[in-house]
Amino acid sequence: MNAPQMRKFMQEEVGLWSPDVFRLDIISAGNSLVCAAYNIFKTRQFSCLFKISPPTFINFILAIQNRYRSTNPYHNHIHAADVLLTTDTLLKAKPLEVTIILLCMYAIPLQIKLQSV
């Protein structure tokens, strides 16, 4: 794991709508889900809130990450890290921004369906 690159990634990409999770997986030596989850755990102070020690949390997330089948090209630990980081970004967003995002999520499929009629 490359600690300086990891810190830089967490500072620059976490909070963006589309962080480069493939790069995260490379610099974390295949531990993108663990790194993403631990970053959220630390920044949201879940250790104090839920009285969970960092080693216990890391072992739990590592067990989850290890259960993903690496042969699946889409539903794998990298996708899980992407969903986790995006969900965290969504939860931090302003209410109006969330409303607009949700409207767009529903409007695009509807627009595609209407265009195909």
3-state secondary structure of 43: helix
Contacts of 54 (CB under 8 A, 6+ apart): 38, 41, 42, 47
Render pLDDT for 58-77 as a digit per residue (tens, 0 to 9): 999 999 999 987 788 888 99
Rounded Cα distance, 44 and 47, in Å: 9
113 band by pLDDT with thresholds 50, 70 and 90:
low
Range of the domain at 24: 3-115
77 is catalytic: no
What is the count of structural domains for the chain? 1
Q: What is the pLDDT of residue 107?
A: 75
Render pLDDT for 21-38 as a digit per residue (tens, 0 to 9): 999 999 999 999 999 999
Rounded to whole angstroms, what are the CA distances from 80 to 54, 99, 117? 20, 23, 35
Q: What's the whole-number average pLDDT of the chain?
A: 85
Among residues 75, 92, 102, 104, the one annotated as catalytic is: 75
114 band by pLDDT with thresholds 50, 70 and 90:
low
112 band by pLDDT with thresholds 50, 70 and 90:
low
Average pLDDT on 9-26 reads 86
End-to-end CA distance of the chain: 51
Contacts of 89 (CB under 8 A, 6+ apart): 14, 15, 16, 17
Q: What is the pLDDT of residue 111?
A: 62
DSSP-derived secondary structure for 61-81: HHHHHHHS-TT-SSSSHHHHH
Q: What is the pLDDT of residue 92?
A: 84
Residue 82's Cα: distance from chain center in Å?
Answer: 4
